[in-house]
Structure 1
Amino acid sequence: MTSTNHKHYQTVKDNSVSKEVFELLHDEDWDMLITSPQPKGTELSKYYESDDYISHTDSKRSIFEKAYHFIKNIALKNKLSLVNSLQKKGMLLDIGAGTGDFLLTAKNDGWKVIGVEPSEKARTIAAKKGIELKPVADFDDHSFDIITMWHVLEHVPDLQNQIKELKRLLKPNGAIIIAVPNFKSYDAKYYGEFWAAYDTPRHLWHFSKTAIKKLFQNENIELVKILPMKFDSFYVSLLSEKYKTGKMNFIKAFFIGLKSNWKAKEKFEYSSHIYVLKNAKN
């Protein structure tokens, strides 16, 4: 991915860990935002060192965490239904597997599963559930029927290399499922610098529908379907309210989430999207 056509888009703060300020640059060639500066290597890991980083814990300490896990359980069933609609049960790889709940759901449904997860804390929790996690380099070419990345692609430092790896690992008739936030949604525009899904600097990239299509097309992978993640507008709005006002405003967040989903119908710009991709037919 090479482009120098970058323009200032937004200044944003790391509201959850460091309180540092970052810039979002709009890459007009790919129609995506880039976090600047981007922390590298071990420097990046310190931005994940928080008990509040919810995808790396099974904690249910607060009403917010309890609500998150309640919605997550519904989402797990929806994710499994999507996977089952695409392929007969075979080998499934989840990259950024977190504490392993999706893999456990798929395993219990008859899939052969394996995952990748950089967080040692999350890997320890997943192992207790009987979920095997390995480095992506350990996998053979064309090993998987389904590869999933649920809100993970935005975290990957080397974006172009990651997409090449997905191409390498996917069986010829397999499918890739990518879920990422959408910076063109109503809730993103409404909350601006306080939009929780910017989540800088953990989110290094911020995608539009055009960006996903172009990035994967570059590796001869075709975008075949886009689906909304309607729950995300409520979750993100609730967290954005906290960043903006200092408190959880459940009622206000609910109405902003509802409005975001309603407005999304016009141009299909939901808070987050699921993208289904397959190898392009020659």
Structure 2
Amino acid sequence: MDISEKKHFLTLKDYSVSKETFDLYQDEALDMLVTFPQPDENNLARYYESADYISHTDSKRSLFEKAYHFVKNIALKNKLDLINSLQSNKGRILDIGAGTGEFLSVTKQNGWQTTGVEPSDKAKSIAMNKGISFVENTSELESNTFDVITMWHVLEHVPDLDKQLKELKRLLKVDGTLIVAVPNFKSFDAKHYGKFWAAYDVPIHFWHFSKTSIKLLFEKEGMQLKKVLPMKFDSFYVSLLSEKYKTGKMNFIKAFFVGLRSNWKGKRNFEYSSHIYVIKNS
């Protein structure tokens, strides 16, 4: 990746695994940040070996994990309501980065035909025990066959962004809907925590998006951003981890008030901790 024309934005550490230092550079034309250096495929897996990375487990060992899964169940209902409101027919849905399969399990029970993609063998085995079907790679799938494709906090993990966007375009039906959820580096909690903001999550987050970057990136592939929705729970979860990275402990009370303030600020300027983007194929 050529960063010679990009402006340096921030230097920060991988606080959860390697403790290595990385830089964020700003792509001003797209209004997004890029992580540098980015690990290659042979070294990438080791950066996911963190106890804090709980989306690949159903574990409820601690109060934090129990709270996470409680909120996750509420979020699952909201996600199901969203896709049902966007598509009149319950057709085929593809979830890229399906994790342990909770979302696809809920949609399958609701009458959707489900397919998942998940690189983590551990997470995939948990999901398969729930009756979820997977393909190893989206290249196995036929073009223009999915009514809905979802990527819940996954696009920021994709090494080859241009290739992924083209693949999403290929897989969606002409009138299909793409739902992408990603962190927002322009949120209050991002600015408050700076280099300790957990949602930077370097180096496994290659890209850091704004509303402008999502709009421009998908427009280049002939897809239109139709709606932006807040993910209000994310500010609390991210603030809690950010407190741990900053102080060495989870300060629940302080994190709660930072999350609350972030959502209050977001209500005024619509820069929430994370956003859901509803994108239509055309």
Give me the TM-score of the superposition, normalised by structure 1: 0.97
CA contact (8 A) 2:23 2:35 kept: yes
Alignment of 1:1-282 (within 5 A): 5-87=5-87, 88-134=89-135, 135-280=137-282
Following superposition, the deviation at residue 266 of structure 1 comes to 2.1
Aligned partners of 2:188 and 2:265 also within 8 Å = yes
Would the aligned equivalents of 2:35 and 2:205 in 1 still touch at CA under 8 Å?
yes
- The alpha carbon displacement at 1:4 in A equals 5.5
Partners of 1:263 and 1:123 in 2: how far apart?
37
Q: Tell whether the 8 Å contact from 1:3 to 1:29 is kept in structure 2 after alignment.
A: no
Once residues 4 and 17 of structure 1 are traced to their aligned partners in structure 2, the CA distance between those partners, rounded to angstroms, is 28
Amino acid at match of 2:270: F
Q: Which letter maps to 2:246?
A: K
**Matched residues in 1 for 2:12 and 2:175: separation?**
40
Residues 28-47 of structure 1: CA distance to partner in whole angstroms, max 9, x if unpaired? Answer: 11110000000011111111
What is the CA-CA distance between 1:50 and the residue it aligns to? 2.9
Paired with 1:255 and 1:116, the residues of 2 have a C-alpha distance of 36
* Structure 2 segments unaligned to the other structure (5+ residues): none
C-alpha distance 107-2 of structure 1, shift in aligned 2 (>3 A): farther
Aligned residues of 1:148 and 1:178 also touching (Cα < 8 A): yes
Query: Offset of 1:5 from its aligned partner?
Result: 3.5
Q: Is the 8 A contact 1:5 1:28 kept in 2?
A: no
Report the secondary structure of 1:230's partner residue. coil
Kindly provide the CA deviation profile for residues 155-208 of structure 1, in whole angstroms up to 9, marking residues without a partner as x. 000000000000000000110000000000000000000000000001000000
Bigger mean CA offset, 92-101 vs 12-21: 12-21
Gaps of 5+ in 1: none
CA RMSD of aligned residues (A): 1.2
Given that 2:3 and 2:25 are in contact with CA atoms closer than 8 Å, whether structure 1 keeps it comes out as no
Q: Give the conservation status (yes or no) of the 8 Å contact 2:105–2:132.
A: yes
